[in-house]
């Protein structure tokens, strides 16, 4: 079970001010919304890493990520280690290097000997998805209202007061989908960190589906209802052919710079067991150390991370959801029982509907999907609703610790009494979140 973060988060004193955020989009009620810790760009601290990451699991051939020691130039490095070339500088002080294919681990050792503080593979990530028959459609109401209690939550708040920006790090989004247009925030900035451009167009469909669960326009007479009723959705495309450590680092950095307060991660770091692709997990020793420390640093600045547990029916939660800084979400069926594919484990926090979920699809359509990828944005959406109501009433953003305590303490207990590895603290309950005066609105 995850250890809760009870320490007081050191936020800027600007939290107590009542001016609107300096980063667009402006809130609906700008005079009454707090300035948060991410209202203006902040400098990241270089990561404090030393040694070498594990060369296990899936990683990009012929590449490593490295953290240079102070004063070490790449020019001097090339003279000491043959076959090394700089590809790009990354956030958090890291650099992406080209090395000979098949020699990644050996070159990592050589780079450490030449003065690098830390070297790791450029790990590969996958979106977590189990697609279903697109013609088999069901109503959202049995799970969004019957399980999660969204209608009662919406009566309390539709997130219009001080809606936080929710970033989805995924395959992009269908920018022309009629049920998403009103929710998308597309600033004139890099939104596709995989290709380093401003166009986050989704050619896969996974990111569009996740976006619809979170922020499809609600009460507009079209298609489906998003959990946030239509809050601000910031799509950051981190997948091209595949996602990597480098792209996720850039995604976290860009989402933060653009003012995101919630980041959804419906993905996992890939490895193999018995010849089958599965999620790697920090529960069994896997870690993408650079990304872990980037997430930890972003969380310390007030950003809430929500992640999918994995779709491989493993007894461990996939990385990065397995990190204590990420709210890990598994999937349940419409009847509240665990979805057969949903990963369980000691770091699972909550469950939400995910078998099936109806959401937006490419080409202005809709379809059903199965997977923890779609449970995670339900929880991220509830987080956004809670943060909006809290900020409207308290003139300050709740800290990630407050968010975690609120959601876990109001969850509907499933399975054995108390926390358990199949359901975590239980089913997320939006209705309880909006009315609780003990953990959520003390």
Give the pLDDT of residue 134: 32
Give the pLDDT of residue 154: 72
Does residue 195 carry a catalytic annotation?
no
At which residue do the structure tokens 């569009």 appear? Answer: 208
The average pLDDT across 196-225 equals 90
Does residue 206 carry a catalytic annotation?
yes
- Residue 305 predicted with pLDDT over 90: yes
Give the pLDDT of residue 21: 34
- Residue 281 predicted with pLDDT over 90: yes
Assign domain 51-123 to its CATH architecture. Answer: 2-Layer Sandwich (3.30)
Q: Which two tokens stand for residue 426?
A: 């239980």
Q: Which residue out of 256, 309, 342, 373 is catalytically annotated?
A: 373
The average pLDDT across 229-248 equals 91
Assign domain 14-41+128-435 to its CATH architecture. Answer: 3-Layer(aba) Sandwich (3.40)
Domain ranges of the chain: 14-41+128-435, 51-123
The average pLDDT across 219-238 equals 86
Distance CA 22, CA 423 (A): 39
- Residue 75 predicted with pLDDT over 80: no
Q: Which residue out of 206, 300, 376, 392 is catalytically annotated?
A: 206
Give the pLDDT of residue 222: 81
Instruction: Considering only residues 156 and 259, tell me which one the structure prediction assigns the higher pLDDT.
Output: 259
- Residue 17 predicted with pLDDT over 50: no
Question: Using one digit for the tens of pLDDT, what is the confidence trace for 76-118?
Answer: 787 789 999 999 999 888 999 999 999 999 999 999 999 899 9
Q: Nearest 5°: phi and psi at 73?
A: -95, 150
- Residue 26 predicted with pLDDT over 70: no
Give the pLDDT of residue 146: 60
- Residue 289 predicted with pLDDT over 50: yes
Bridge partners (DSSP) of residue 278 are 271
Tell me the whole-structure pTM to 2 decimals.
0.86
- The closest alpha carbon to 231, from 191, 182, 187, belongs to 182
Quickly list DSSP for 10-76.
---GGGG--SPPSSSSPPSSGGGSPP-TTSS--PPPPP---EE----S-EEEEEEEEEEPTT--HHH
Distance CA 355, CA 338 (A): 9
The average pLDDT across 183-191 equals 92
Q: How confident is the model at residue 170 (pLDDT cuts 50, 70, 90)?
A: very high
Distance CA 232, CA 183 (A): 5
Percent of the chain clearing pLDDT 70 (strictly above):
83
């Amino acid at each position: 079970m995850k250890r809760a973060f009870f320490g007081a988060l050191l936020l800027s004193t600007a939290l107590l001010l009542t001016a609107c955020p300096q980063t667009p989009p402006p809130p609906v009620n700008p005079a009454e919304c707090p300035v948060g810790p991410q209202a203006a760009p902040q400098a990241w601290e270089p990561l404090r890493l030393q040694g070498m990451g594990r060369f296990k699991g899936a990683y990009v051939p012929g590449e490593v990520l490295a953290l240079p020691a102070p004063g070490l130039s790449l020019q001097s490095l090339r003279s000491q280690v043959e076959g090394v070339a700089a590809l790009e500088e990354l956030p958090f002080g890291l650099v992406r290097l080209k090395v000979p294919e098949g020699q990644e681990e050996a070159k990592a050792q050589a780079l450490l000997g030449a003065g690098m503080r830390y070297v790791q593979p450029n790990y590969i990530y996958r979106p977590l998805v189990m697609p279903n028959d697109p013609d088999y459609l069901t109503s959202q109401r049995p799970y969004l209202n019957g399980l999660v209690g969204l209608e009662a939550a919406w009566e309390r708040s539709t997130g219009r007061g001080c809606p936080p920006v929710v970033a989805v790090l995924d395959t992009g989004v269908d920018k022309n989908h009629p049920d998403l247009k009103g929710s998308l925030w597309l600033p004139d900035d890099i939104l596709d960190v995989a290709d380093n451009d401003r166009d986050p167009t989704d050619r896969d469909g996974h990111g569009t589906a996740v976006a619809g669960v979170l922020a499809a326009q609600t009460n507009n007479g079209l298609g489906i209802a998003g959990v946030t009723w239509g809050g601000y959705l910031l799509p950051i495309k981190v997948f091209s052919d595949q996602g990597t450590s480098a792209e996720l680092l850039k995604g976290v950095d860009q989402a933060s710079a653009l003012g995101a307060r919630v980041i959804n991660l419906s993905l996992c770091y890939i490895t193999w067991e018995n010849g089958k692709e599965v999620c790697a997990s920090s529960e069994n020793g896997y870690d993408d150390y650079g990304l872990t420390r980037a997430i930890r640093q972003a969380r310390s600045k007030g950003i809430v991370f929500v992640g999918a547990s994995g779709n491989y029916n493993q007894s461990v939660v996939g990385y990065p959801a397995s990190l204590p800084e990420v709210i890990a979400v598994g999937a349940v069926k419409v009847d509240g029982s665990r979805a057969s594919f949903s990963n369980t484990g000691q770091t699972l926090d909550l469950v939400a509907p995910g078998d099936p979920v109806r959401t937006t699809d490419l080409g202005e359509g809709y379809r059903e999907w199965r997977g923890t990828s779609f449970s995670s944005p339900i929880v991220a959406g509830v987080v956004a609703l809670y943060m909006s109501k809290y900020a409207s009433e308290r003139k300050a953003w709740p800290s990630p610790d407050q968010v975690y305590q609120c959601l876990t303490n109001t969850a509907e207990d499933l399975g054995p009494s108390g926390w358990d590895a199949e359901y975590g603290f239980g089913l997320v309950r939006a209705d309880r979140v909006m009315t609780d005066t003990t953990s959520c609105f003390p």
